[in-house]
Structure 1
Amino acid sequence: MNFRKILALLLLLFTCSFHAQENINDKKEQIRALKVAFLTTELDLSSQESEKFWPLYNAYDNKQFEIRHEKMKAYKSKFSDDALSKMNERDAAMLLSQMEASEEELFLLRKKFSKSLRSILPAIKIIKLKKAEDDFNRKLLQQYGDRGKRRDK
């Protein structure tokens, strides 16, 4: 995923964090169910592929969410206008290094996941998975944006 998509997804996750924790878990599960259905349709996995793919994908997806949610949550308070105006160069450099480390951790996780998939799926399905994830995230963000526009009217 490129940085803009990751940032947009993070913003979506942060926005959801303003709701009650129970509401977040419900929304997370709804999104997960929609994502599973979408990926299942797009990848057209055989029963053997599916049996091996989903446990691996779920572990990857959970770890990815954990990295984004937990690590990026720590940065959230530092992004307010007030906090940024008070931040000195040393603190900004340290925050930037932490953010880069989180991005690197996400990249390495994705790389490890992709390598693990090679023994389960043909390369074309791994590429289709990447495209399907991007398409799903785009549709999710578009739907979220459309919902916000309806409320503004």
Structure 2
Amino acid sequence: MKKYTLIALMFLLAFGTTYAQRTDEKYDREKLESARVAFITTRLDLKPEQAQKFWPIYNIFNDSREKSLREMSQLGRIKDLQLSEAEAKSRLTRKFEIQRKMIVDEEKFVKDLSTVITYNQIIQLNGLSREFARHIYQRRRDDDKK
């Protein structure tokens, strides 16, 4: 009987840990977003008044960019191995439309942002998202080693 009780206790403990990790997921996203904001704000050396104007512009652009990238990703997925030539051509045409829209959006973003920060800061911004992702990846990898 002790054996079954021990197994049940281990099962409940494992389930509880998994459940707790899932409920903390939103909190982790909030922490990650806060860390991203702090990272970019610090690296660009934004003054408080600049940051107040910068983040709304950046967030709108970033949301639009992510939506476009998701759509392009969907276009690249082949659900059937037999894709008609017309469907393939349609997908490629749509992909190019999205890419053109992304260029127009980025030009507008740079124009809007140039009223808040310098062009040098805008150039620095281009690499900061990737640098932040690498930084987070490295920290997770280091934490996993511990």
| TM-score (norm. length: structure 1) | 0.62
What is the SS of the residue equivalent to 1:79? coil
**Identity, % of aligned positions:** 24
Indicate which of 98, 101, 108 corresponds to 2:97: 101
Matched positions, count: 120
Which protein has the larger Cα radius of gyration, Structure 1 or Structure 2? 2
Q: Separation in 2 of the partners of 1:32 and 1:109?
A: 23
Matched, 1:36 2:32: no
Q: Which residue of 2 aligns with 1:6?
A: none
Q: How far is the alpha carbon of 1:146 from its aligned partner?
A: 5.4
Q: Provide the residue aligned with 1:45 in structure 2.
A: 46
Q: Quick one: structure 1 residues 74 and 29, their matched pair in 2 at CA, closer, same or farther if it must change by over 3 Å?
A: farther
Q: Residues 1-153 of structure 1: matches in 2 within 5 Å?
A: 26=26, 29-69=30-70, 71-72=71-72, 74-75=74-75, 78-80=77-79, 83=80, 85-139=81-135, 142=137
Give the residue type in structure 2 aligned to 1:114: V
Shift of 1:107: 1.9
Q: Which runs of 5+ in 2 are unaligned?
A: 1-21
> 50-59 or 130-139, which moves further after superposition?
130-139
TM-score, normalised on structure 2? 0.65
Root-mean-square deviation over aligned CA pairs? 3.1
Structure-2 separation of matches of 1:135 and 1:60: 19
